[in-house]
Amino acid sequence: MEKKAPTIKEMARTLGISISAVSKALNNHPSIGLYTKERVARLAQKLNYVPNQAAIYFKQKKTCTIGVILPHLTDHFYTSILCGAETEAMQNGYNLIMCQSYDSLAREKELVAFMQKNRVDGVLVASSKETINYNHFQALESWNIPVVHMARQPKQYDCHSVISNVRDGARQAVNYFIEQGHRRIAHLNGPETMATSRERHSGYLDAHRAHQLPIHPELVQQTDFSRERNKQIVDSWMQQDEFPTAILAFKDLIVLEIMSLLKQYYPDKKEQVAVIGFGNHQLLQYMDHPPCASIEEQPAMIGQRATSLLLELMQLPGEQRSTSTTALDCKLVTYERP
């Protein structure tokens, strides 16, 4: 029962031939006689020989491994990215090694070091919300390990990235609000440090400008994603005489939290406030009172495209890796009230 994996060396000894003969026989090298090949094949079969990939990769000086750094695995958005990446990587013979930064910059730096130690062939990353400089990723690239940023794009430096066109997504949502007659539209955004927050806000502004609607600065707030902070923001808005009748939120989960806060603390006003967020979570369709719409992104496609881009980059020598940004469309999905 308890066996160790057989090696070509052992097989060579058993058969009384050289190691290289066994190796060549296994690889169907033309210079090996049929008889020998058959002997080797039979023995390999019998011992259930499986070549040691680790050794092969080691010799080839590559690991056929892609490192993936994500903020969280508890967020459906990131697991969808992971899902797309896994599919694409596996199809091309690459493994994924996956880890979570927990949205901590310190941890992210550790993970980058970890990736370098492990000599992954490339890295996919959705950087943490704390990440404001990208030196650690640049270091990785300077070691000839290409990096593709997913979803969260560093504006500060020129990098390879695949993101959602959240600016347009936000624009669509606010346009929809305006079409529906809303004039006081709030934006419950994510932290300013995240490029994706700034992009969202640009879209919000775009739509206002296009319709020549004034911006009310007090209607633009940033959350740290905590329920307390969200409540504080909603309170600040709803306690105004002219409270906003529409809210663009960072993502669906926050939409739901807003709606739950409204229901609990402002039940009489709840029906007057429309809310839209990013994500279009699978379960929204099952709600009796879903948000009026949701901005659907394509996270699995982000993962897939990022992986495919990374695979291309890995073929190229460093100097030829010209940077590019792919922005995938967002789609506004509306939910009719029953």
Closest CB to DNA among residues 7, 14:
7
Interaction of residue 32 with DNA, rule CB under 7 A: yes
Distance CA 123, CA 30 (A): 38
Provide DSSP, 128-153: -TT----HHHHHHHHTT--EEEESS-
Which one of its own copies, DNA, none is in contact with 18 (Cβ closer than 5 to 8 A by kind)?
Answer: DNA
Question: 3 or 214, CB closer to its own copies?
Answer: 3
CB 212 within 8 A of CB 243: no
Is residue 268 close enough to count as binding its own copies by CB under 8 A? Answer: no
Asked if 192 contacts 162 with a C-beta cutoff of 8 angstroms, the reply is no
Q: Is 50 in the site for its own copies (CB under 8 A)?
A: yes
Is 133 a binding residue for its own copies by CB under 8 A? The answer is: no
The one of its own copies, DNA, none whose footprint includes residue 35, by CB under 5 to 8 A per kind, is: DNA
Smallest separation (angstroms) from DNA to the CB of 194: 36
User: Residue 233 in 3-state DSSP?
Assistant: helix
In whole angstroms, how close is the CB of 15 to its own copies at the nearest point? 21
Region of residue 288 (left: phi > 0; alpha: psi -120 to 50; beta: else): alpha
- 125 or 207, CB closer to its own copies? 125
Residue 144 as a binder of DNA (CB under 7 A): the answer is no
Question: Is residue 27 at the binding interface for DNA, with CB under 7 A as the rule?
Answer: yes
Is residue 157 a contact point for its own copies (CB under 8 A)?
no
Closest CA to 168 of 199, 195, 190, 189: 199
- Does 18 bind DNA (CB under 7 A)? Our answer is yes
What does 337 interact with, of DNA, its own copies, none (CB < 5 to 8 A by kind)?
none
Give the total of residues touching its own copies (CB under 8 A).
Answer: 57
Tokens for 188? 């419950």
Are 233 and 188 in contact, with CB atoms under 8 Å apart? yes
Q: Does 333 bind its own copies (CB under 8 A)?
A: no
Site string for DNA, 44-63 (x = CB under 7 A): -------xx--xx-xx-x--
Q: How far apart are CA 82 and CA 68, in angstroms?
A: 8
Partner interacting with residue 293 (select from its own copies, DNA, none; CB below 5-8 Å by kind):
none
Residue 100 in contact with its own copies, rule: CB under 8 A = yes
Cα–Cα distance, 28 to 86 (Å, whole number): 31
- Give the contacts of 299 (CB within 8 A, at least 6 positions apart): 77, 78, 80, 81, 84, 151
Least Å from the CB of residue 260 to its own copies? 6
**Cβ within 8 Å of residue 306, ≥6 positions away:** 81, 85, 124, 148, 149, 150, 161, 162
Asked if 74 interacts with its own copies (CB under 8 A), we say yes
Q: Residues in the site for DNA, rule: CB under 7 A? A: 7-9, 16-21, 23-24, 26-27, 29-33, 35-36, 51-52, 55-56, 58-59, 61
